[in-house]
Amino acid sequence: MNQLEALKQFTTVVADTGDFKQLAQFQPQDATTNPSLILKAVQKPEYLPLLKDTVAAHGKAPMDEQIDRLLVRFGCEILATIPGRVSTEVDARLSFDTQATVARAKRIMALYEAQGVQRERVLIKIASTWEGIQAAAELEREGIRCNLTLLFAFCQAVACGDAKVQLISPFVGRIYDWYKKSAGAAWVEADNAQANDPGVKSVTAIYNHYKRHGIATEVMGASFRNVGQITALAGCDLLTISPDLLAQLAATDAPLHRVLDAKAAATLDLPAVHFDEATFRYALNEDAMATEKLAEGIRAFCVDAVKLEALMR
């Protein structure tokens, strides 16, 4: 049994890609996309026809609608190759507008349903700002399931749990990146690997909190830099992994054991925690890493959204 097969015994494996032609070889349950991954995909010759077809059919529609139609086209292609769910992202430029996020999410879901896709197979990805979390709470009440992304801080995870969102995506690799850059020459890789990796520690704390307090929101570790970060989170509800790292897992038969365990977490002595808007904003502000990486992530997705629009023009 290789490590990918072993991991699937404990954790739902999700492919993090817009390159749906790669999916079959890894047999993931679910798949996630984002503007950067779709932008990367449509610049390949084999995916450019999807963009051209969308423009040909809907070129007179407003650009934001054309983008949503392209994202849904990719999502439908992905769903044809996996048994589970696909995550499709709301425009990051709406990250601080609750009602605009709700409206855009409803349109994306309507486009999927018009293609015969049941809403249970779609997760709407929204940035984990306060406004995004409130939008997700409203959408969940209406039966539209959400994946809260760009999640770096414990307070974001707590607020998402209170909002009863379906799933969160804490970003392991980007947390690791920030601490490594911050430490500079003082960084010792061996001292910050596996369970000591700052991104791994963040996801572990969130997972344990959720399981201890019976929070149903699924935890999906994301944004991995190496296989060690993945194996250190074996047992997490889900892990979304790039094709390159999926291939590395499939290529090794080194032993892999469960690390995170819901039953063990349920026995931990962890206090209940809740945030209102003011205490959420203060807690996020006090976390320099989370503040910087959330802002950086939104900016990067916005840049790629603009580039995607330019390609469609």
Catalytic residues: 125
Largest CA distance in the chain: 58
Distance (Å, whole) CA 11 – CA 197: 19
Task: Judge contact between 17 and 243, C-beta under 8 A.
Answer: yes
Count H helices and E strands in the chain, helices first.
14, 8
At 272, give phi and psi (nearest 5°).
-70, 140
Beta bridge partners of 239: 13, 221
Report the run of H or E that residue 123 belongs to, with start and end.
strand 122-127
Residues 6 or more apart whose Cβ sits within 8 Å of residue 147? 32, 87, 123, 124, 125, 126, 165, 166, 167, 168, 169, 220
Other CB atoms within 10 A of residue 204 CB: 22
Distance (Å, whole) CA 228 – CA 233: 9
Taking the alpha carbons at both ends of the chain, their separation in whole angstroms is: 48
Parallel, antiparallel or unpaired: strands 146-151 and 122-127: parallel
Distance (Å, whole) CA 46 – CA 62: 26
